[in-house]
Amino acid sequence: QVQLVESGGGLVQPGGSLRLSCVASGSILAVNVMAWYRQAPGKERELVVQTTTGNSTMYADSLKGRFAVSRDDARRALYLQMNSLKPEDTAVYFCQATVRTSRFGMSRVYWGQGTQVTVSS
Rounded mean pLDDT of 50-63?
87
pLDDT at 22: 97
Nearest to 101 by CA among 89, 109, 93: 109
pLDDT at 105: 86
pLDDT at 70: 93
Is residue 1's pLDDT more than 80?
A: no
Give the neighbor-by-neighbor strand order of the sheet with 2-7: 2-7, 18-26, 77-82, 67-72
Name the 3-class secondary structure at 96: strand
Nearest to 85 by CA among 36, 40, 119: 119
Task: Provide the terminal-to-terminal Cα distance of the chain, rounded to the nearest Å.
Answer: 40
Rounded mean pLDDT of 16-34?
94
DSSP track, 8-70 = --EEE-TT--EEEEEEEEES-SEEEEEEEEEE-TTS--EEEEEE-TT--EEE-GGGBTTEEEE
Rounded mean pLDDT of 41-57?
91
Nearest to 91 by CA among 32, 31, 26, 46: 46
Per-residue pLDDT tens digits for 89-108:
999 999 999 999 998 988 99
Is residue 40's pLDDT more than 80?
A: yes
